[in-house]
Amino acid sequence: MYHRFDAVIVGAGGAGLMAAAQLAGKCNVAVITKLYPVRSHTGAAQGGIAAALANVEEDHWIWHMFDTVKGGDYLVDQDAAEVLAREAIDAIIELEHWGFPFNRLPDGRIDQRRFGGHTRNFGEAPVRRSCYAADRTGHMILQTLYQQSIKNQVVFFDEFMMLDLLLTDDGVCTGVVALDVETGEFHVFHSKAVLLATGGYGRVFKVTSNALSLTGDGVAIVFRRGLPLEDMEFYQFHPTGIYKLGILLSEACRGEGGILRNGLGERFMERYAPTLLDLAPRDVVSRSIYHEIREGRGVEGKDYVYLDLTHLPKEVIETKLADNTDFVRTYLGLDPVVDPIPIQPTAHYAMGGIPTDVDGRVTVDAQNTPVPGLYAAGECACVSVHGANRLGTNSLVDLVVFGRRAGKHMLQFVQQNDLHPLPKEPDYRARAEVEWILENEGQEKVATIRAELQEAMMADASVFRTGDGLRRMQDKLVELRNRFTRITIDDRSRTFNTDLVEAIELGYLLDCAEAIVACALAREESRGAHYREDFPQRDDANWLKHTLVTRTSGGLELSYKPVIITRFQPKERTY
C-alpha cells in the first residue's frame, strides 16, 4: 500500500511526538509507531526533567551545561550541551502551557528536586534542578504530547513496524517501508523528510530496564543502509534496578534522600564520591556497587546491595515515589517504608546511536555532512549531548529540546524542497526479509539465540570490560549470526504474527551488539560508562574523539571525528 506525506515520523515517544507538535497543522505529517503511542518507553522515565528554572534555589543554564559536559566525561559536544541547557527552560514552560501536571510549590510555581550529577556553581554541591510529576514524569510527558497530537489531528499508524529506509542513489531520503503487524501488509510511506525517533536497544543485555520493544530498530536499519553510527561503545547501566528483574527504581529515590548501603550497612558512596555521595553520576555509582560486591561487601555475600528509604517520611515515599513503592511491593513483596530494597545495576540508556547535528539532521562523516531529508532524535540519535555518560533527567529534556528542533527544521525543509521519486520496487528488501523468515526451515529458535546474546553481552560487554572478554564476545556474535541464518518460527501466518516481529527484532539486536563490541574493543581507555579493566585510565591524548562505525562489504570500518569543545577544557572528573 502506498502513502504520501510531507513528513513521516517513526516512533511516538517523547521525541517523535514533540516533533509532530511542530509540524501539525502546518504540513501533512504521519507518525508510524510499533506500539500504541502512550505505551512508548518515554512513559517509563520516572524521576524528572532538568531545567535551570531556579524556582527552589539559585541555578543557571551554564551550570547545567557544565554538569552535562563533566557528566559525559568531556566527550560531549559542547555546542549541543549549550543548546540543551539554554532551551530546556523554554521547553519546560511550553510543556506547562500544554497542561503538563508538574508538582508545585506552595506559590504555584514548578517544584524541583535534586538528581545525580546536577550541581550548583560548577560542582560545589547538589542543586534542585529536576522538574517532576511525582515519579511518573515520562508518563505525563507522553500523555501531554499525545493529547496535543490528537487535538491537532496528527495521523497515526499504530502497530506499524519500520522495516527499511528509502534512499535515492545520490543519498536523499525519500521515505520508509513498514509492516502493518495486524494484517501483515507492507506499506510504503513516500515523503520529503523522515524523522527516526525509535528509541534505544537495551534488550541486547539480560538485565535491563528497557521494554521488550527496545530492540534498536531505527539504529540497525540506518546501519544496514551503510550510514555510520556514533559512540556505540557507551552504554549506561543505571545503578538501581530491582535485583534480577532490572525494573528501574528511579534516581528520584536518592534525590529525595535515599541511601545506598552494602551488606555491612555502610553508606559506601562516601568512599567513592565524598561530595555528591549517592547522587554521583550513574556510571560512577554503578561501578562503585560492583566494586563493593567484588570485595565481598554485597548483601549476604550475594551480587546486590540495598537502596534504603526507611529513614524517609512515609508521606514522601507514598506520594513522591508512589510508582516505585508499588514496584517494590508488587515484584519483591517488600514495603520500602520499613524494608531496604535489593538492587543491582541495570542496562538503561544508549549514549551512542545515529549521528546528528543540533537540528536533528543525520550526518555521515567527520565533517557532519547531512543526509538530505533524514532526521533523528531521542535515544536512537547521538547529538552528542550525553558524551560517554548521560546525567539523570537529561534524557527527557533531550527528547523535548532536540525533538522540537528537529521538527522545526523538518518544517522548513519540506516547505523548501520537492518530493523526490521513490527507487524502483521500494519494498523489495523488506519483502525479501519477511518472506525469508516465514519460509526458512532451520532448527534454531529465536528465543534461544536472543537469550544467549543477552547473557553473553551481560558477561563480557557491560559495566566492566576487557580486551579478552570483548574478543570472546565477537566470536560469540559470529556464532550467533551464523545460527540466525538457520532460524525457524512456529507461526507462519500474516495476522499479528509476533513470532515474525521477534525474529526481525533479533536481527536488529545482533546488528547493535556487533557495533557496540567493535567500538568497545577499539577504544583502549576508560571513559564514562565505558570501563576497560585493561586500560583503566582516561586517555585524552589518544581518545578524546567520537567513534564512527560503518558496515561495509568488507566488514565493519571504524573512523573518528573530533569532539566540539567551546567553554570547558577537559579535566579530571571527581565528585
Q: Identify the CA nearest to 438 among candidates 487, 390, 403, 393.
A: 487
**Half-sphere exposure for 282 (CA within 13 Å, toward CB):** 35
Burial 473-485 (b: 16+ CB within 10 A, else e): bbebbeebbebbe
Query: Measured in whole angstroms, how far is the alpha carbon of residue 111 from the centre of its chain?
Result: 26
Q: Which residues contact 47 (CB under 8 A, 6 or more apart)?
A: 115, 130, 132, 135, 137, 250, 251, 252, 255, 392, 393
DSSP codes of every residue in 373-394:
EEEE-GGGEE-SSSTTSPPTTH
Neighbouring-strand partners of residue 559: 548
9 contacts: CB under 8 Å, gap ≥ 6: 16, 19, 20, 23, 29, 30, 31, 32, 194, 195, 197
**Known catalytic residues?**
282
Q: Across 515-563, where does the E strand assignment appear? A: 545-552, 555-562
Which residues have C-beta within 8 Å of that of residue 18, sequence separation ≥ 6? 145, 377, 399, 400, 403, 404, 407
Q: Please, which residues have CB within 8 angstroms of residue 90's CB and are 6 or more apart in sequence?
A: none
Using the Cα atoms of residue 113, residue 256, residue 242 and residue 35 in order, give the sign of their dihedral. negative
Give the pLDDT of the chain (575 residues) as one tens digit per residue: 999 999 999 999 999 999 999 999 999 999 999 999 999 999 888 889 999 999 999 999 999 999 999 999 999 999 999 999 999 999 999 999 999 999 999 999 999 999 888 999 999 999 999 999 988 999 999 999 999 999 999 999 999 999 999 999 999 999 999 999 999 999 999 999 999 999 999 999 999 999 999 999 999 999 999 999 999 999 999 999 999 899 999 888 998 999 999 999 999 999 999 999 998 989 999 999 999 999 999 999 899 999 999 999 999 999 989 889 999 999 999 999 999 999 999 999 999 999 999 999 999 999 999 999 999 999 999 999 999 999 989 999 999 999 999 999 999 999 999 999 999 999 999 999 999 999 999 999 999 999 999 999 999 999 999 999 999 999 999 999 999 999 999 999 999 999 999 999 999 999 999 999 999 999 999 999 999 999 999 999 999 999 999 999 999 999 999 999 999 999 999 88
pTM for the model: 0.95
Q: Is the dihedral of CA 58, 405, 515, 37 positive or negative?
A: positive
Phi-psi category of residue 378: left, alpha or beta, with phi > 0 → left and psi -120 to 50 → alpha? left
Tell me whether the omega of the peptide bond preceding residue 526 falls within 30 degrees of 0, making it cis. no
3-state secondary structure 66-87: HHHHHHCCCCCCHHHHHHHHHH
CA-closest candidate to residue 487, choices 457, 509, 456, 470: 509
